[in-house]
Structure 1
Amino acid sequence: MPPGAFHTSRNMIIDAANDRLFVQVGSPCDLCRQQEAVIGYTTEPLPRNSEYGTILVANLDGSGRRVWASGIRNVVGLDLHPDTGELWATHNHLDLMGSELPPEWIDIVRDGDFMGYPLVYGWRAWVDFNLPEYQKILPITRTDSLMVANHKRPAALVNAHLAPMAIHFYQGDLLPPEYHHAGFVAIRGGRTAGNLATVPGFKVIALFGSPDGSDTRIADFLTGFQSSDAVWGKPVGIAEDGQGNLYVSTNNGAAIYRISFSPLLATWEHNLPESVLSGATLEIAGTVHILRLGEGAGAPELSLDLSGLGGPASVPLVAVGDSSYQFASHLVVDVPNGLHEVQIRIVQGQYSNRLVGGVAVLPTADVVALIDGPAPGWRFEHSTFASIEPRQREVVFAGEVATSITGTSSGIAGWRAELVASEPVSTVGYKSLRFAFHPGDAQFDGHSLSLAINNPSQSLENGRGYGQFQLPSVPVDLLSPRPDGRLWLDVERKEWQIVEVPLEVLQVVEPMERVRLFGNTRGTFYIDEMRLITSAAPSITAVGDEPLPLAFDLGQSFPNPFNSSSVIPFRTDLDGDVRLEIFDIMGRQVVTVLADFLAAGSHRATWHGRDDKGRPVASGVYVYRLQAPTVDGWTQATHKLALLR
């Protein structure tokens, strides 16, 4: 084997069906050509060795050793798919391209494959060779370009620096049928102090899809290893015993965790609403049907847990036969907006299980972040090249004060001003971010001014959101036209104007923690009355206050994100055939929600998070498209929604 340097592990797997052995050999550096190998981030050279950054294959007696696949920085997990026998691997990518790039891949590795390193990541997205540490790869040769042209799309991607470890394909029958031959991947990284990752990790994810990797979907399987910045488990290894139990090891705790499955099986019927206003009174009733119990464990005890909605934590169910139980209760919904759970707990001796329903609690009022200065629970932060006067009195929108933001004349860097919440704010039930804006004496020509929720993101040529590779937010350039061609801001109007940016444009799929304004304008402009607008509030246009016409319209689904079902509102201006479809982020059709003749007017349709065969789909971002007739023929509109299992 090549001498170990930087990536020193030599993980292996035996392919017994073909009497051969696969061994991974990592790159000795963060990024370098294997013909000019160096150690780690240094310039210290190593002897040339063509086996660096590869997966090797050999016969079990050691003969026939050769390179199976190349273009690898650090493969960790290896497993053979039980249906096809093909080799799957997990891969840890570069360190120096920031917190959001590059994504890590999980993929099939076939004979002769070039997996991208050190040239590209994702799918044919070039490494940032502007970084001084990475310029040693240049120049790019014709051979490089030909290899990249043969780089195949990965089966799945996860966010940068999540560090996928072991991969294991499940072969038991203890878990529910949908897990048969599903893949499990240990995720060792995640968002915490000292880690570059920007999204939560420290978990085990499940891979669903065809054995050839053509439609791989990802969902969380085992979570809970992190509480705030305290991480008590970083999953590394996964194994399975003869009974179908899974075992997960971590590299920062002296424990191995067994994941089993309860013999208790039940279904339920209930009248839980998909959404409800906070403060409303609910009358809840339903029936639970026991389908399977553990042998010799006695009679089950069932209880209803309404604490997720602010109700009692344990309401006993009443038996109405040998295998059916009923419940009925009422409560005032006393929790803030967001996705909340209602649970049925089933306990039989040492066995337990639960049934879970989701209810979206919708807000009854806007969330005010800025009014006469930061609202309670909000504060300003800013960069060196911005100054903020949160309560100036010279230019006022309403009340007595407004906020001024001044960008300096420095040409070194842009400025940043952030309105930060003391606690994360759920965006469930809100449709847009609205604020008042006055251009003041700021210079906008040839400059930029952008708005984002939480952290800004970057989009990739190979597609955003593939697998679980989803970046936190998309900035909106307020000096560019809106999707409908109108302006977000009219900087020539030296007066107050109302700006309203839909949350779907900002692609907010997580709780809001901060509102970011950033750019390189110079001079002073003013903002005030910044708030999240509830879905029930009337819409206000970007510039001015004229109402939108009552015509064809596709509204934002609610709740969004959702975990059981989401309502899609829309309006048509003519009688006719209407079609509503769901697509995944790669453009593949998932299901047709509606295909019917509808009268003109307002309508609603519900998607329950299932595909056209009735199977639950994985967590992720989806696109819904409405097609309907208009006086000019046909028209269509699309929006995004997020499913969180």
Structure 2
Amino acid sequence: MLIVLSFVLALSVTTAVLAQDEDYPPGTLVPEVNLGLQPTPLIVPEPFRGAVPQDLVLNLPPGFSAHVFAHEGLRKPRFMAFDPNGVLHVANMGADQIVALPDRDRDGVADERIVALRGLREAHSLLFYKDALYVAEEHQVIRVRDTDGDLIYEQEEVVLPDVPWEGWHDTRTLVVDRRNDKMYLSVGSPCDLCRMDEGFQVVANTNNPVPHHPERGTILQFNPDGSDRRIFATGIRHVIGMDFHPQTNALWANHNGHDLEGRTRPPEWIDIIGDQDFMGYPLVHSHQVWSDFTIAGYEKVLPITRQDSLLAATQKRPVALVPAHYAPMGLHFYTSDQFPSRYHNAAFVAFRAGKAKLSSPPGYLVAALFSQPDGSDARMGSFITGFQAGKTQGDVWGFPVGLASDAEGSLYVTSDNRNHLVIKITYSPIGGSWEHQMPDALSVGDALQVNATVRVERLVPDGGSPRLTADLSSLGGPDALPLVALDDQTYQLDTRLETADLPKGFYKVIVRLEQEVDGVFKGIDFIHSIALLPPDLSVFDESVAADWQLIGDSGAQMQVTGDGPIFYGTRAVAVKAEPQNFYTPWTVEFRPAAPVDPLGFAGVRFAFHPGDIELPNFPIFALFIDDLGVDLARDPEQFHIDFSRREWQVIEIPFTIFDQPNYYGPGLLDQVDMIDALRFGGNMTGTFYLDDVRLITRIPSLPRVPTAVAAVSGTEQPAAFVLAQNVPNPFNSSTVLRFALPQAADIELTIYNLAGQKVAQLTRGWHAAGHYTTHWDGRNDAGVRLATGVYIYRLRAGEQVQVRKLLLLR
């Protein structure tokens, strides 16, 4: 009865959510914008070679470049500020210093490092205001002056003393409202999740108290001389980035959420902070979503009082929610004109963490946040990525933190770990943008339709006319195909390339926008990479593939038969298995005539039916490739296999699952280098079935029809845009979702949880008008089985959106 009531409550909550705003359920992560990033080498100037690796690559939008501005002597550089003369000052927190980095010859590289101020405590942020430099230490704010112009600050006074600092979150961010002559300071919570009331402030997730201070977990406001100190906003765990919107002068900030609710909760927020706002902590996150107080250490927030509930109800919807544990750092509104116009008044946000630490998405990036001046219609796009070269935290070479821009409009980014750097981002004086319809991947033999439109947005005055060409040589096309001018600013590329004679691999389409300046052509490249993949390689489909053999050994007898369960077509492989003894498992092997190169293949897929098999006390069901094995019976949830379900189950195993640490050295991996066979081994007894065995180019793999969802043939063209209720509902193992498109559209069909977080992308891309069906097996994009509960599925087709709910029962 309790379970039924829980589901009824969940359904009513979902209905209320959708009634509020069907297009944007509360808590949904900010919509993404694709800024067309492409690999861009990080330029390491001569003074830093040998100290900074020269093979580092960032991903930036077309036309942008990056080079190291400063490195020598930097130890954990954090926030930055330019003095009135344009000299960059950096909070060199690891050395307890402020350093000045003049670039007197204006070559884009700091000429020297001057220790402007030393002997500080966790100095994280700084700013110039009127005739002084203000520095936020963990325990105070100081004001200093350089009396003789040598960039060393001799006069010092404390303007804001006794800032609480014990426990966690002792970095302080300082900003100034120049219009109203007010300063603001972030003062974080001492713990992960605890109340800020007297007697409840503790260190981290312990019960060790810190001296109570009413200013913990707040934003403070004060005059530049320290007077009129007061609490401006509450409900803060740890705000790091703050800035004032250039049009509205509203205070914007980002926030670091608590740690222990898993990889996807709670989302970090970016929001506008007003006078006396309550921002949610420690009661709620996202938009009025309660924290999980059942987690050990979090229960000390209980009990929840009526006053707590009323306070939580005042938390407003944030401007933007970003993935949990992204560790947002600097927030900087860009007001210059060097970058393309879309970035004017946009906010750049640095994220110092990602999947390699606690989060689910990759992270370690600088993003651009676009919105209306009041924060509505927010969208975010990755602006700089590539700080992580591999998959582990050891592969992260840069940790972006601070952001600032100079008088010319170049953007500066600090990295405070591994490589301690200041990186300068500039945009070419020759600028433009492009749009294209090219795919990211294509099967070998498919023709590539190359369509792109380039708009010229900026040229060097007194330079020559623009020249736009396409380099298609990697795909066997011309290396300088002229684009067709539609008008003075718009150019088009429209051609078709055949790929039948090309080997699988990665190829580039490069469109060049150039202008002759002083006798030399200068410009930018627009680059789109395309993976040319082999088609899925069928190993068994009605029969064993021509160049493969089916071999049984040690108690396995096989028969290709139409008697018994069939997954697809008319025949499957029936395996009658009986291990010879306890130590010798039976084996079933699909063996190619010659080893298959795995390049272009993502993994192996097969359909499995348990038939009437019986499991021993310690079951084994393993797959071996290239002498590397995984036991599917040891972790059935990971491999989506259930021996008690007497029905067909589709198993997809990525080759990366086979990766194993190499004995001979840390960081080395044994991996599938060649597909010598697909070798199944086990100790179950009875008859089971295999069907539709193939090597696949993507996971999840495409179904057996050409589109990501099945088009329903023989039906009339729909008259309306419809997202139907899933069937069955509730469901356990799989459900069918149907939708209709009255006209062709770019679509997204996505599953969200009740917190509004995306858990599964079922399909996306261009679809013709028609009726469609697709299946969902109750798993997220990582293949993990989701828990019992109510989920939201949302279909977007162009500007149209429909939302429904479904119920998953485990």
Q: Does 1:343 align with 2:510?
A: yes
Q: For the structure 1 residues 245 and 540, does the alpha-carbon distance in structure 2 shift closer, same or farther, using more than 3 Å as the test?
A: closer
- Which one-letter code corresponds to 1:190 in the other structure? G
Match of 1:244 in 2: 409
Match of 1:205 in 2: 367
- Which one-letter code corresponds to 1:6 in the other structure? W
Match of 1:386 in 2: none
Question: 2:554 and 2:275 mapped to 1: Cα distance?
Answer: 62
Q: Does 1:26 align with 2:188?
A: yes
Per-residue CA deviation, residues 516-567 of structure 1 (Å, 9 max, x unaligned), is: xxxxxx999876546665467279999xxxx9874678999xxxxxxxxxxx
Match of 2:313 in 1: 149
- Which one-letter code corresponds to 2:472 in the other structure? L
Alpha-carbon deviation of 1:263?
Answer: 2.0
Question: 2:478 and 2:380 mapped to 1: Cα distance?
Answer: 32
- Which one-letter code corresponds to 1:91 in the other structure? H
Per-residue CA deviation, residues 253-299 of structure 1 (Å, 9 max, x unaligned), is: 23212222212245789996898653234586989786643346678
Q: How many residues align?
A: 490
Q: Does 1:537 align with 2:537?
A: no
Q: For the structure 1 residues 536 and 297, does the alpha-carbon distance in structure 2 shift closer, same or farther, using more than 3 Å as the test?
A: farther
Matches within 5 A, 1:26-425: 26-35=188-197, 36-192=200-356, 195-228=357-390, 229=392, 230-252=395-417, 253-265=419-431, 277-282=443-448, 292-295=458-461, 303-306=469-472, 310-311=475-476, 314-315=479-480, 317=482, 331-333=497-499, 334=502, 342-348=509-515, 349=520, 351-356=522-527, 364-365=535-536, 398-399=572-573, 401=575
Question: 1:281 and 1:22 mapped to 2: Cα distance?
Answer: 58
Question: 1:627 and 1:84 mapped to 2: Cα distance?
Answer: 29
Q: For the structure 1 residues 269 and 160, does the alpha-carbon distance in structure 2 shift closer, same or farther, using more than 3 Å as the test?
A: closer
Alpha-carbon deviation of 1:325?
Answer: 9.1
Per-residue CA deviation, residues 56-85 of structure 1 (Å, 9 max, x unaligned), is: 111223222111111111110010111111
- Which one-letter code corresponds to 2:404 in the other structure? A
Answer yes or no: is the 8 Å Cα contact 1:337–1:426 preserved in 2. Answer: no
Match of 1:607 in 2: none
Question: 2:169 and 2:338 mapped to 1: Cα distance?
Answer: 36
Question: 1:602 and 1:266 mapped to 2: Cα distance?
Answer: 39
Answer yes or no: is the 8 Å Cα contact 1:225–1:231 preserved in 2. Answer: yes
Question: 1:369 and 1:268 mapped to 2: Cα distance?
Answer: 44
Matches within 5 A, 1:480-519: 491=645, 497-498=647-648
Q: For the structure 1 residues 70 and 478, does the alpha-carbon distance in structure 2 shift closer, same or farther, using more than 3 Å as the test?
A: farther
Question: 2:240 and 2:405 mapped to 1: Cα distance?
Answer: 18
Answer yes or no: is the 8 Å Cα contact 2:504–2:600 preserved in 1. Answer: no
**Length-normalised TM-score, structure 2:** 0.50
Answer yes or no: is the 8 Å Cα contact 1:580–1:627 preserved in 2. Answer: no
Answer yes or no: is the 8 Å Cα contact 2:186–2:218 preserved in 1. Answer: yes
Answer yes or no: is the 8 Å Cα contact 1:365–1:534 preserved in 2. Answer: no
Alpha-carbon deviation of 1:181?
Answer: 0.7
- Which one-letter code corresponds to 1:111 in the other structure? D
Match of 1:438 in 2: 610
Q: Secondary structure at the match of 1:132?
A: coil
Match of 2:795 in 1: 623
Q: Secondary structure at the match of 1:18?
A: coil
Alpha-carbon deviation of 1:623?
Answer: 3.1
- Which one-letter code corresponds to 2:185 in the other structure? V
Alpha-carbon deviation of 1:478?
Answer: 10
Q: Does 1:10 align with 2:182?
A: no
Instruction: List alignment gaps of at least 5 residues for structure 2.
Output: 1-162, 548-552, 561-565, 567-571, 579-596, 616-636, 659-683, 724-737, 757-767, 773-792, 806-810
Question: 1:637 and 1:403 mapped to 2: Cα distance?
Answer: 47
Alpha-carbon deviation of 1:311?
Answer: 3.9
Q: Secondary structure at the match of 1:17?
A: coil
- Which one-letter code corresponds to 2:512 in the other structure? R
Alpha-carbon deviation of 1:182?
Answer: 0.7
- Which one-letter code corresponds to 2:796 in the other structure? Y
Per-residue CA deviation, residues 16-74 of structure 1 (Å, 9 max, x unaligned), is: 11111110001111122122111223322112211111111112232221111111111
Q: For the structure 1 residues 303 and 24, does the alpha-carbon distance in structure 2 shift closer, same or farther, using more than 3 Å as the test?
A: same
Question: 1:116 and 1:313 mapped to 2: Cα distance?
Answer: 58
Answer yes or no: is the 8 Å Cα contact 1:29–1:38 preserved in 2. Answer: yes
Question: 1:21 and 1:499 mapped to 2: Cα distance?
Answer: 61
Question: 2:409 and 2:540 mapped to 1: Cα distance?
Answer: 51
Q: For the structure 1 residues 329 and 219, does the alpha-carbon distance in structure 2 shift closer, same or farther, using more than 3 Å as the test?
A: closer
Match of 1:408 in 2: none
Q: For the structure 1 residues 39 and 114, does the alpha-carbon distance in structure 2 shift closer, same or farther, using more than 3 Å as the test?
A: same
Q: For the structure 1 residues 622 and 297, does the alpha-carbon distance in structure 2 shift closer, same or farther, using more than 3 Å as the test?
A: farther
Per-residue CA deviation, residues 304-343 of structure 1 (Å, 9 max, x unaligned), is: 3336x744694465999999999898754346599x7522
- Which one-letter code corresponds to 2:511 in the other structure? I
Q: Secondary structure at the match of 1:255?
A: strand
Q: For the structure 1 residues 84 and 537, does the alpha-carbon distance in structure 2 shift closer, same or farther, using more than 3 Å as the test?
A: same
Question: 1:30 and 1:37 mapped to 2: Cα distance?
Answer: 10
Answer yes or no: is the 8 Å Cα contact 1:346–1:352 preserved in 2. Answer: yes
Question: 2:422 and 2:208 mapped to 1: Cα distance?
Answer: 39
- Which one-letter code corresponds to 2:402 in the other structure? G
Per-residue CA deviation, residues 103-149 of structure 1 (Å, 9 max, x unaligned), is: 21111111121111112221222222222221111111222111111
Answer yes or no: is the 8 Å Cα contact 1:202–1:225 preserved in 2. Answer: yes
Alpha-carbon deviation of 1:214?
Answer: 2.3
Alpha-carbon deviation of 1:571?
Answer: 6.7
Question: 1:267 and 1:528 mapped to 2: Cα distance?
Answer: 48
Instruction: List alignment gaps of at least 5 residues for structure 1.
Output: 377-388, 405-420, 428-432, 444-473, 480-488, 504-510, 516-521, 557-568, 588-597, 604-620, 629-635, 640-645
Per-residue CA deviation, residues 160-203 of structure 1 (Å, 9 max, x unaligned), is: 211110001111112111111111100111222xx122221111
- Which one-letter code corresponds to 1:249 in the other structure? T
Q: For the structure 1 residues 246 and 62, does the alpha-carbon distance in structure 2 shift closer, same or farther, using more than 3 Å as the test?
A: same
- Which one-letter code corresponds to 1:354 in the other structure? D
Answer yes or no: is the 8 Å Cα contact 2:539–2:693 preserved in 1. Answer: yes
Question: 2:285 and 2:445 mapped to 1: Cα distance?
Answer: 49
Match of 1:458 in 2: none
- Which one-letter code corresponds to 1:45 in the other structure? P
Q: Secondary structure at the match of 1:133?
A: coil
Q: For the structure 1 residues 424 and 49, does the alpha-carbon distance in structure 2 shift closer, same or farther, using more than 3 Å as the test?
A: farther
Answer yes or no: is the 8 Å Cα contact 1:627–1:637 preserved in 2. Answer: no
Pairwise CA RMSD: 5.5
Answer yes or no: is the 8 Å Cα contact 1:13–1:21 preserved in 2. Answer: yes
Identical columns (%): 37
Match of 2:778 in 1: none
Question: 1:95 and 1:391 mapped to 2: Cα distance?
Answer: 51
Q: For the structure 1 residues 625 and 290, does the alpha-carbon distance in structure 2 shift closer, same or farther, using more than 3 Å as the test?
A: closer
Q: For the structure 1 residues 536 and 5, does the alpha-carbon distance in structure 2 shift closer, same or farther, using more than 3 Å as the test?
A: same
State which drifts further: 10-19 or 246-255.
246-255
